[in-house]
Amino acid sequence: MFLKITPLDTLFFRSGRPFTMGENSWADAVFPPFPGTLYSAIRSFLIFRYGKLEDFYNGLLKEDVKRVVGTPCQKGSLKLKGIFLYSNNNENPLFLAPKDVVEDSEKGKLYCLDYLKKPPLMVSDYKLSDILVWKKNEKAETTDYWLTVEGFKKYLKGEKDIFEIRGKRNLKRMYREKSELFVLEPKVGIKRDPYTLTSEEGYLYRISLVRLKKDVALIAEVEGVEDFPEEGVFQLGGEGKAVKFEKLKNGDDGGVAELEDLRRMEFDLRNGYFKLYLATPAIFEKGWLPRWIDENDDYEGKYEYNGLEIKLKLMACAIGRALPVGGWDIYRGQPKPMRKAVPAGSVYYFKVLEDDLKEAAYKIKELFHFKNISDVNSEEGFGLSIVGGVKV
């Protein structure tokens, strides 16, 4: 089931960095929201649709509802696969530019970094076998563009020269700039004394609200719930701002067909290499490293899921700065454990350690392609991975 979610006002999504009244005056904003934020909003919507919060806390919800939303201590069948930014302007879901893509601003192009064996004379505490480098003389910078499905397909096929971002030949608009999708609007507030109604000294704060452009919305893929209304309204993010939603079907406007086309996409594994792109942040037990990879065994590991297993070796990666992910536990009345997440757009390069590459390609697609591989809270939509090819 796909939901198209359209804000009715600005939205506020705060990062997990501390924002203590009287100590911190600026709250960092994140967008798109963490998957857990949307998961909790949908779960709360279902709880209030079929009962009250007290019923949920006391286990008084109907059994069929309880199977979906779970209990305060255990989640139910409700699962969020991922969140995608969607543009009505080109009827396309959008993907944050991968971390191994850089911009040559002089030529106006985006390129993939070159994948190379680590030189024997390289002096570094970098421990992986291979490296990602920019070999040209021109200056290259990281980019925060969003790729359309057409541009994202070129990336997943392993093309190094992705496309122009300027010039007459760029007719298909295979990218969108962040400023075309949303803007951040600062909001300043104060704390007032409840008796005198005057502002208290030291309690001035500032937050950044997100305003989506008119043609932009969110798409969420939801599983594990059957009786979901065709349309409605629920609250999302800080300040309880309202968003409207509508269910989408294959072929509807909303990018569902394009996402399904990406899901069916095949990749070339003849050289035994592939990469994983994280469409949503992932929380791994060992920080940047998935728990199934053994750093003491040359970064090899065996990944298992649903009766399938495959042995791989992590060869290289391009990851962004860790994101603090927290939240508030309403049931216990205390903050949730703070965890560090690998940001969306991060990329991991793997080598297959099996002889039958045809069988390995099948396993990789079943195990990783459009699957949530986060070690923690994968059912909330963290760690949605998409498989791509690597040309070595």
Specify whether 327 is located in the same domain as 218: no
Answer whether 0.95 is exceeded by the pTM.
no
pLDDT > 90? residue 159: no
Decide if 16 is inside a domain.
yes
Residue 77 has φ and ψ, to the nearest 5°, of: -80, -15
Name 134's Cβ contacts closer than 8 Å, sequence gap at least 6.
Answer: 102, 111, 113, 114, 140
**β-bridge pairing 323-325 and 293-294:** unpaired
**Mean pLDDT, all residues of the chain:** 86
Query: How many structural domains does the chain have?
Result: 2
Model confidence band, residue 168 (pLDDT cutoffs 50, 70, 90): very low
Question: Which residue among 259, 293, 327 closes a domain?
Answer: 259
Q: Which of 338, 346, 236, 329 is nearest to 13 (CA)?
A: 236
User: Mean pLDDT across the stretch 246-269?
Assistant: 83
Decide if 355 is inside a domain.
yes
User: Mean pLDDT across the stretch 249-255?
Assistant: 66
Structure tokens at 281: 């942040």
pLDDT > 70? residue 165: no
* Per-residue confidence (pLDDT) for residue 14, from 0 to 100: 75
Model confidence band, residue 193 (pLDDT cutoffs 50, 70, 90): confident
Give me the domain span that covers residue 29: 2-89+211-259
Span 224-251, pLDDT tens digits: 998 899 999 999 988 788 999 999 876 5
One-letter amino acid for residue 130 of the chain:
D
Decide if 341 is inside a domain.
yes
What CATH number has the domain bearing residue 331? 2.60.40.4350
Specify whether 216 is located in the same domain as 85: yes
pLDDT > 80? residue 36: yes
Model confidence band, residue 95 (pLDDT cutoffs 50, 70, 90): very high
Specify whether 216 is located in the same domain as 271: no
Model confidence band, residue 205 (pLDDT cutoffs 50, 70, 90): confident
* Per-residue confidence (pLDDT) for residue 251, from 0 to 100: 59
User: Mean pLDDT across the stretch 269-292?
Assistant: 95
| Residues 106, 23: Cα–Cα separation, whole Å | 43
Mark 209-236 as b/e (b = at least 16 C-beta within 10 Å): bbebeeebbbbbbbeebeebeeeeebeb
| Residues 57, 71: Cα–Cα separation, whole Å | 7
Specify whether 297 is located in the same domain as 367: yes
Specify whether 290 is located in the same domain as 339: yes
* Per-residue confidence (pLDDT) for residue 364, from 0 to 100: 96
Decide if 327 is inside a domain.
yes
Question: Which residue among 199, 232, 259 closes a domain?
Answer: 259
Span 56-67, pLDDT tens digits: 888 888 999 999
